[in-house]
Structure 1
Amino acid sequence: MNTQDIENTLRKLRLSGMAQTLQTRLMQAQAAQEPFLDTLSSLLQDELDQRRSRLMARRFKLSGLDEKPSLADFDWRFNPKLPRGACFELHSLKFLSEGANALLVGKPGTGKSHVAKAVAYQATLQGYDVAYVEADGALARYALADADERARLLKGW
């Protein structure tokens, strides 16, 4: 079996991460006279990395988030009354492991959306499925929906 046959077999086995890096890993192994198990280990890690990357991209796409914010990007001088400690506590996602809920309330323009998006994005990074919706739009859609659509919306939330 030559390398092209191996690449084709890897793709048939749905190991595209390994197939994409096979040539590079083979050249590295030959140049460094690397043991077979080290090369195989690197190829397996390439596959795992690609799968994780695709999964993260899929989770982000399904989350409803339009950006990837973090609390490190937040300008805390913008609203000094915002409880920084509580925001970072939410960002730790401890409330999820406790089975609790989080509700952010306050006047418009105070940073609630940024904090909520940062927490939601952190949850996607930690492997949670996220559905980010803004209350006013979601509740308006719900109010205007028929009974079947309301049931579908509730199930999604």
Structure 2
Amino acid sequence: MTTTTSIAAPRSPRSPRRLRGRTNTELYAWLFMRVSGLLLIVLVFGHLFVNLMVGEGINALDFAFVAGKWADPFWQIWDLLMLWLAMIHGSNGMRTVINDYAERDQLRMWLKVGLYTAAAITIVLGTLVIFTFDPCPVEAAADLLPSFCPGA
């Protein structure tokens, strides 16, 4: 007597009709994670080195240090790249986690809407802070101002 055993089809979170129009989005997301991860290593360790090791180290970190640093467009772009890459890299990772663990389509959609909203707000506010930062505020105490400010 022969007994046949059948193996159940694996559970798929996507319906077959959604798979037909598939693009290489996941491949690009995977590549972005690798490239942005490498860039973030350089950006973060460069940021830590300049802020903590050069000059007086952590004792020099104050308003004047940040103001002087952000007065230079090079450091504005450096910090902007670090902000954007970190937020997009982290959001892409969270998107992957949501896709893997949120089983219902409606829940998955709302979690991603919340994720994308939070990431967009953080990126916009961070970008505004970097580019609208005033290193010489009028009401600041003179001893806190960087040396290049007129009242310092």
TM-score (norm 1): 0.28
Structure of higher RCO (CA pairs closer than 8 Å, 6+ residues apart): 2
Max radius of gyration: which structure? 2
